[in-house]
Amino acid sequence: MDPRPVEQRELEALSRRERQRQLRGTFAGLAEIVVALVIGLFVGALVMDGAGYDWKLAYEGLLIGAFGDQWAIADTLASATPLILTGLVFGLSARAGYFNIGAQGQMIVGALAAVAVGAHVSAPPVMAVTLTFLAAALAGALWALPAALLKATRGVHEVISTIMFNWIAHYTALYMVFNVLNDPRSAERTVRVLPEARLGAIIPGADMTAAIFVAVGVALFMYWLLWHSPWGYEMRIAGLNPSALRYAGASPLWSVNLTFILAGIAAGIAGATQIIGRPPTYALYGDLSNVRNLGFDGIAVALIGRNHPLGIILAAIFIGAMGAGSRMMQIMAGVPLDMVRIVHGTVIIALAAPEVWSLLGKFLSRGRARREAASTAHSKTVQR
Amino acid sequence: MLVQSLILAAIHAMVPLTVTATGEILSERAGVVNIGLEGILLISAFTAVIGAEAGGPLAGLMVGLLTGALLGLIHGIIAVYFRGDQTVSGVGLNILALGVVAIGIVDRWGAAGFHRVDRAFRVQPLSTPLGAMSPMVIVTILLAALTWYLLQHTNLGLKIQACGENPAAADAAGVRVERVRMFGAIYAGALTGLAGAYLSVDWLATITENLPAGRGFIALATVVFSRLNPWLAVVGGLIFGFFDALGLIASTSQELTRIIPYQFIQMMPYVVTLLVVAGVIGRFRSPSASGQAYRRE
């Protein structure tokens, strides 16, 4: 006989059940992600097959290009670096209840700031790198802030405002690249950052630099912030139930500003990683190709990583692998690089409807129940 | 002369914004929000070119419309029957479109990123006192009128509004909420598809990897501006279209680009959209159940 009081036993049983339910929830979430990824790859194969490509060879190339040897793995991690950060932009904002798709613009502005500071401020190496990251983070945060203010004071939906700010950043960058930060020796890129502001390749011949540690560090910080600090608690409450936040006496204006500033910091740093943390260029290209679409890929990363900083790291490696591997896919099977975008889009659409699976389950079990009912009815008639 | 051509250009720039916004207005009234309009514009602009090159400009417009309807159907199924996250599904559409069209252009025409539509496959303009004008301008006004009439003066319009405001009450009154919402989603998709076709086989006469260039989102801003009234979507389309046209015209004018760099001129539609949405509109209440899945008790 258990000597402990009944209440305590009941409580323990309750918490055990709660833990089991949570665990089951996590597994269901993981299963959903895996199914969505399989659907994405399947649709990708269908499209390639329809367009006359050898999809098996393409996926083989994707795998070799992403994980074939140490250089491939390093390239995968290098591609994942900015995606961890742009994924955090969306993920963090989503946790606080905002649909911030402005990572692209905030990142571009961060990249511009990184070029401006990295190319012109001379300092000892560690100092120069730190200063460049700080400038980029500040620029990203400042670019993100107006969308937050417009949301809080004028009720402007952040989807519209952040997309408009993305386009404004795009054209501002085009202007800066050709008129302010231009390099007289090269028409196709900005000035290069000073050698002391550059992060070197960890494995010679591959793109990976210490920037990956910065990205992972920011992700871990955001994790701590969201789940172990009062600020993060407020942000998550704001996301789950905005009116509860007001009843608790916290200010929604503060919450939206804080969220967008933190997101902007991550985006700005993402821009800097592409400038000072990606050999061999260490400059922004005139067609902005070294920051192209990274902000939008971050949305995919965040959704696959379930808006959780640690999930985002894993998802960024997955999407980064597709980016790094797509070059080998192009070489081996002749498939255009943009193929991976079809896979991303399909994965996201599949993730949008998690109830498909429970609906499907219900449908199947209803069918089973009906069949069982029919068979028992049948056996009854036979007995009679 | 310049004023006249600017007005004409603004009217032409209005068409894709107003047509897209008109469809989305009906859909949002029924309770389905689609932020994947940009992606639908892009994909249908692409398929419309294929249609036009196979069967003439009218076939191109039809193919665009049907492509949009199909994408609207997919979004609708996710939003209505699977009770999925409408915003996420829309984002997925936008990303999918970038991949599909980039690959499609290479696959179809062998050239990366760009294909011009030959004059023979474009919609023929009408001659008016203002100058050559696309017949799609008239279609736009007709669509706005039709949608307005449908929403305000028909039984279906009443059902649509009920589904957006209070689906449970509509359900209790015998309205088939799912079907009405599906109609909204498909209607928005079809009109957006038509607008996409107009971009490629009529107005811009080209298909590129990012042809809509944010117009799907400016259309969303137009929806907000219109307060879900199709007539105001025409006004909003004209305002936003004017700055779009100004950018297009000004960036080809040498005197202007010497004073203002062309990058800043091209930035203008986006800045104006922000200012208008922030300044003129202020706060406005959308249908209470818009964007939310309906779950029967």
**Interface predicted TM-score (ipTM) of this complex, two decimals:** 0.87
- As to burial, measured by CB atoms within 10 angstroms (0-12 exposed, 13-18 middle, 19+ buried), residue A292 is middle
- Fold held by B2-116+137-281: ABC transporter involved in vitamin B12 uptake, BtuC (1.10.3470)
Which structure tokens are listed for B86?
């409408």
Cβ of residue B100 closer than 8 Å to a chain A Cβ:
yes
Nearest residue in B to A353, CA atom: B84
CB contacts of B282 in chain A (<8 Å) are 154-155
Cβ of residue B274 closer than 8 Å to a chain A Cβ:
yes
Alpha helices in A241-354 (DSSP H): 242-247, 252-276, 294-304, 309-333, 339-352
Helix (H) or strand (E) holding B147: helix B136-153
d(CA A257, CA A273): 24
> A140 or B266: whose pLDDT is higher?
A140
d(CA B171, CA A215): 49
> B146 or B112: whose pLDDT is higher?
B146
Cβ of residue A300 closer than 8 Å to a chain B Cβ:
yes
B92 contacts A161? CB cut-off 8 A: no
User: Which pLDDT score, from 0 to 100, does residue A381 have?
Assistant: 47
The Cβ of residue B256 has, within 10 Å, a number of other Cβ atoms equal to: 15
User: Which pLDDT score, from 0 to 100, does residue B281 have?
Assistant: 58
How do residues B48-72 score in pLDDT, each as one tens digit? Answer: 999 999 999 999 999 999 999 999 9
Question: Comparing A192-206, A274-288, B163-177, B247-261, which segment has the lowest mean pLDDT?
Answer: B247-261
CB contacts of A155 in chain B (<8 Å) are 282-284
Residue B30 DSSP SS3: helix
Measure the N-to-C terminal CA separation of chain A; round to a whole number of Å.
50
User: Which pLDDT score, from 0 to 100, does residue A29 have?
Assistant: 77
Question: Is the pLDDT at B181 greater than 70, yes or no?
Answer: yes
How many CB pairs below 8 A link A and B? 151
d(CA A212, CA A217): 8
- The alpha-carbon gap from B119 to the nearest alpha carbon of chain A, in Å, equals 27
pLDDT bracket for residue B121 (50, 70, 90): very high
Give strand ranges (E) for chain B: 114-116, 126-128, 131-133, 206-208
Residues in CB range of A47: below 8 A, 6 or more apart: A339, A342, B100, B103
User: Which pLDDT score, from 0 to 100, does residue A384 have?
Assistant: 41
- As to burial, measured by CB atoms within 10 angstroms (0-12 exposed, 13-18 middle, 19+ buried), residue A69 is exposed
User: Which pLDDT score, from 0 to 100, does residue A2 have?
Assistant: 58
Residue among B88, B64, B98 at smallest CA distance from A343? B98
Placement of tokens 């399989």 in the chain: A38
Per domain, the residue ranges of chain B are: 2-116+137-281
The Cβ of residue A364 has, within 10 Å, a number of other Cβ atoms equal to: 10
Nearest residue in A to B217, CA atom: A160
User: What is the average per-residue pLDDT within B270-293?
Assistant: 78
- The residue among B87, B264, B274 with the most chain A CBs within 10 A of its CB, best to mutate, is B274
- At B52, the amino acid letter reads A
Give the closest of B88, B209, B220 to A160, CB-based. B220
In chain B, % of residues over pLDDT 70: 97
Per domain, the residue ranges of chain A are: 82-320
A348 contacts B278? CB cut-off 8 A: no
Cβ of residue B224 closer than 8 Å to a chain A Cβ:
yes
CB contacts of A298 in chain B (<8 Å) are none
Local confidence pLDDT in tens for the 384 residues of chain A: 556 666 666 667 766 776 776 666 677 778 888 888 999 999 999 999 988 899 999 999 999 999 999 999 999 999 999 999 999 999 999 999 898 999 999 999 999 999 999 999 999 989 999 999 999 999 999 999 999 999 888 888 888 899 999 999 999 999 999 999 999 888 889 999 999 999 988 988 888 999 999 999 999 999 999 999 988 888 888 888 777 777 777 777 888 899 999 999 999 999 999 999 998 889 999 899 999 889 988 998 999 898 999 999 999 999 999 999 999 999 999 998 889 999 999 999 988 877 666 666 666 676 666 666 666 555 544 444
d(CA A178, CA B138): 42
A149-188 residues touching B, CB cutoff 8 A:
150, 154-157, 159-161, 163-165, 167-168, 171-172, 174-175, 179
User: What is the average per-residue pLDDT within B92-98?
Assistant: 93
Instruction: Tell me the CA distances in angstroms from A216 to A80, A115, A299, B190, one per residue in order.
Output: 10, 22, 17, 44
A13-72 residues touching B, CB cutoff 8 A:
47, 51-52
For residue A208, the 8-state DSSP code is: -
User: Which pLDDT score, from 0 to 100, does residue A7 have?
Assistant: 64
User: What is the average per-residue pLDDT within B190-206?
Assistant: 97
B35 contacts A159? CB cut-off 8 A: yes
Cβ of residue A101 closer than 8 Å to a chain B Cβ:
yes
Question: Is the pLDDT at B282 greater than 60, yes or no?
Answer: no
d(CA B42, CA B50): 13
- The alpha-carbon gap from A150 to the nearest alpha carbon of chain B, in Å, equals 7
Note if the bond before B212 is cis, omega within 30 degrees: no
